[in-house]
Amino acid sequence: MDRDEGNAITNADVRMQQQQQRSSIPSTLFIIFMLFMFTNHSGDEFLARNHYQDALQSMNYQLSNFTAWMSGEASNFTMPDRTPAITPLAQSFMHPGTRLDPLHASYYPNTTGFIRGDLDFYNITPSSLDPTNFPWKPYAESYMSDTNMSELLSNLGSWNWSAVDKISWSVIDRAPRSADGVSERIAMIHGRIDLTDTARTDDMRLEFEGVHFLPNGSVYGFAEPNGRPIDIRHLPVIVPNSVQNETARAIQPELLSRINKVKVNIDAGIIDQEIPEGSDNQTGCGFLVYAQIEPSGVSEDVMRDLEDELQKPTGKWTIDPPPLRMTGVLISRECGLLYRLRDAEGLRSQSFFRKVTSYAGVSAIFYLLLLALLCRQTDRMHSPAGLSRVSLWSFLAQAIVDAVAFAGHITFAILANGRPSMSLVAPAFLACILFALEAQHAILINQVQAPEDAVSPLAQPPQSPPLNGTAETADAPQPQLPLLTIVPPRPTAPSFVRLVIRHLLTDSQARIWLGMFIFFTFIIRVIVSPSLTLFFVASMYSMFWLPQIIRSVKRGRSSSLSAEYLIGTSICRLYFALYFLRCPKNVLDVEPRRWAYYLCAFVLLQVVIVLLQQRLGPAFFLPKRFATTQTYNYHPPLPLSGSDPESPDQSLGDCSICMEPIHADDPRHFQQVASGLLQKVGGRKNYSMAPCHHLFHTDCLEKWLAIKNICPQCRRPLPPL
């Protein structure tokens, strides 16, 4: 092949490589386009906008018909018939409120917040009421007299209604609106009701709409499962007869306000893409809600000042907010169910926001302490000798906990959507910094320990390959090949999957990050389930120092963790565990768990064991037959290099680090046997023999291993000295 043909082939290869490089640009554009299509939600927004348009049209239709009905004109709206037995049935479980003396007592004018309490279940179907003798039995029988039992059974669905024993009620109480013909102070109220089965930690969510009469603290409303609309025009049916007309007049401005709000959102492009769907439990049980706020021993003027300060804080002195207590009853005619609400206590949203802000401040202080402790500890053990004595998994477990804490605080800040949102950013930011530093430190530990774990300390050094074969091959005559024009094959780039697999097999950091990514995707699913969340917290907290104890026992060396870091980090971590698992009024409303104390005791026991391992030995708590660890012996018996055993200068060889001769130790500590080997009787040996058969001074090797854990001569990994 002549030079011109070679140049032509070379130019062709260059053109093909350029074509391959240019062809990757359309592929990149295609990938970007696909990612845009996957992440673009214009279709969902279009559906949500159509849903809003349909809802706006329906609300306009409802308002026009209700206005015509109120004016006595022809209308498609008809008010349902009032059931006479419902009022005495509800009053059998709660006492309706009365007007109070404004100088001595008052009701809460605004119930916006969270109400939680216990529920008592009653089955009011005719078959279940027959063997009972409740005083309210006649009212329940009259209320359920014309119920279709076949429809009742189908409405119940798969939910276990008899197991419900807790209620969580989130309430938004609007300011009273002025309307013609309305003399009472009536506020529209809405929210969500969660009926909880504590045995299964499962909830049934209901949407709530109602009215709140401020003068006597009474609340009336409807509760329906998700997906079933609530017609607030039917509220006059369940309120007392004396305020029925005023309630109907108060509904008109509320409907008009909701219509205007939907119009503004559509014009501004503020579209919620999450269209409400039906309930997961597929139930048809709707409830009538009757609730009564208990009066407080605070005058009406003082209560008004307290409310103004809660809504618009100015720093003015006010009394401590009195407890918000409530009683009530939930009745479902469609399903024959009745729940009595007792021992319900509310937490105002403003008070809750203050509690969240206080929690965020205290949490930020503890995260700052954790950050300071971590920085001081990493400064102490930055050398390979210190990193080889700590467990990788202890820092990975803490990094995972901090990553979950970061995600939880950020999610909490988004859901709060108010004044405490910015305060929650502080602990979230500090948790993110902690996660990054701990993950980086774990990767550094893995880099130091990977050569040590890859080669067993007791393994013999590999033999050098023979050289005769290579020499023979080099000296052998090469066969003569005919001169042919050979076109080299076009180089093919490896696929993306092969590159990823090769990178994972060769890079330990990539494996760690991939494992953490997979673990975090699992954690996202875990956080949704409360029971799995508690199991995750318990397992992670129990793994903080347990891997360190195991590594110290296996390696026969105590950890390099300071007592300051161990005790301080454990106390700061246990603060969060005790707050959420033992505080009855924590910000997430997690029920107290008795096993939290056992978790704390187990973590502190681990700290004590790690500290005792540094004083009494790594395996002090194990039986003698399990306490022995196989470690490489850097001081095997060696023959003297000198030919004259009577020579005063007994040398074992030259040190591979300082290049100085290694003299034998004090003769009193050694005795020479017939084989010419030295055996130790007592004292510290002056020499150290690496597995690769390189000889060092013990002091020289200790200083070298404080920098790197590889042989300074052949670069092979060395076990701990």
SS (H, E, C) 617-680: CCCCCCCHHHHCCCCCCCCCCCECCCCCCCCCCCEEEECCCCCCEEECCCHHHEEECCCCEEEE
In a domain, 574, yes or no: yes
Dist CA 130 CA 54 (whole Å): 47
Query: Which domain-ending residue is among 348, 373, 406?
Result: 348
**Of 59, 38, 415, 36, whose CA–CA distance to 266 is shortest?**
59
Residue type present at position 114: F
Would you say 522 and 562 are in contact if contact means Cβ atoms under 8 Å apart?
no
In a domain, 191, yes or no: yes
Q: φ and ψ at 395, to 5 degrees?
A: -80, -30
Dist CA 450 CA 635 (whole Å): 24
- Does 547 share its domain with 621? yes
DSSP label at residue 94: S
Q: Which two tokens stand for residue 201?
A: 């930690």
- Does 550 share its domain with 410? yes
DSSP label at residue 136: T
- Does 557 share its domain with 659? no
Strands annotated E in 137-286: 166-173, 186-197, 202-213, 218-225
Dist CA 102 CA 205 (whole Å): 37
Tell me how far CA of residue 646 lies from CA of 23, 554, 649, in angstroms: 80, 43, 9
Dist CA 423 CA 353 (whole Å): 10
Q: Within its chain, how far is the Cα of 318 from the centroid?
A: 38
Tell me how far CA of residue 603 lies from CA of 538, 544, 560, 577, 600, in angstroms: 10, 8, 18, 11, 5
Interior/surface letters 683-702, b for 16+ CB within 10 angstroms, e for the rest:
eebbbbbbbbebbbbbebbe
Q: What is the model's pLDDT at position 197?
A: 85
State the Cα torsion 147-153-156-159 to the nearest 10°: 150
- Does 320 share its domain with 394? no
Q: What is the model's pLDDT at position 414?
A: 81
- Does 294 share its domain with 324? yes
Residue type present at position 271: I
Residue type present at position 142: S
Tell me how far CA of residue 310 lies from CA of 109, 217, 277, 303, 417, in angstroms: 12, 19, 35, 10, 17
- Does 327 share its domain with 429? no
Burial of 241 (0-12, 13-18, 19+ CB in 10 A): exposed
Handedness of CA 138, 141, 143, 145 (dihedral sign): negative
Would you say 712 and 657 are in contact if contact means Cβ atoms under 8 Å apart?
yes
- Does 312 share its domain with 369? no
Dist CA 280 CA 194 (whole Å): 13
**Of 176, 225, 210, 169, whose CA–CA distance to 349 is shortest?**
169
SS3 689: strand
Query: Which domain-ending residue is among 321, 348, 375?
Result: 348
Q: What is the model's pLDDT at position 276?
A: 46
Dist CA 439 CA 512 (whole Å): 9
Query: Which domain-ending residue is among 348, 370, 392?
Result: 348
Dist CA 590 CA 577 (whole Å): 11
Partnered with residue 535 across adjacent β-strands are: none
- Does 513 share its domain with 436? yes
In a domain, 265, yes or no: yes
- Does 134 share its domain with 223? yes
Would you say 445 and 437 are in contact if contact means Cβ atoms under 8 Å apart?
no
For the chain, the domain total comes to 4
Owning domain of residue 695: 651-665+684-720
The CATH number that applies at residue 699 is 3.30.40.10
Q: Give the relative orientation of helices 349-380 and 300-311 as an angle to the nearest 10 degrees.
A: 40
In a domain, 21, yes or no: no
Q: Computed over its alpha carbons, how large is the radius of gyration of the chain? A: 39
In a domain, 120, yes or no: yes
In a domain, 240, yes or no: no
Tell me how far CA of residue 490 lies from CA of 10, 11, 15, 293, 483, in angstroms: 11, 13, 11, 83, 21
Strands annotated E in 77-201: 113-123, 166-173, 186-197
Residue in the block written with tokens 């554009």? 29
Q: φ and ψ at 346, to 5 degrees?
A: -105, 155
- Does 107 share its domain with 193? yes
In a domain, 492, yes or no: no
- Does 255 share its domain with 342? no
Indicate the pTM of the whole model.
0.69
Dist CA 300 CA 701 (whole Å): 82
DSSP assignment of 491-539 equals P-PPPHHHHHHHHHHH-HHHHHHHHHHHHHHHHHHHHHSHHHHHHHHHH
In a domain, 11, yes or no: no
Mean pLDDT by 10 residues, the chain (721 residues): 47 45 46 48 58 82 90 88 91 89 90 91 91 91 87 86 91 80 83 86 88 93 90 93 89 89 76 48 84 91 86 81 92 94 88 89 95 93 81 89 86 75 90 91 84 51 42 46 53 64 66 66 58 73 89 85 94 93 86 89 94 89 70 75 56 82 56 40 67 85 78 81 67
- Does 74 share its domain with 87? no
Q: What is the model's pLDDT at position 278?
A: 44
Tell me how far CA of residue 341 lies from CA of 90, 195, 327, 345, in angstroms: 11, 11, 5, 10
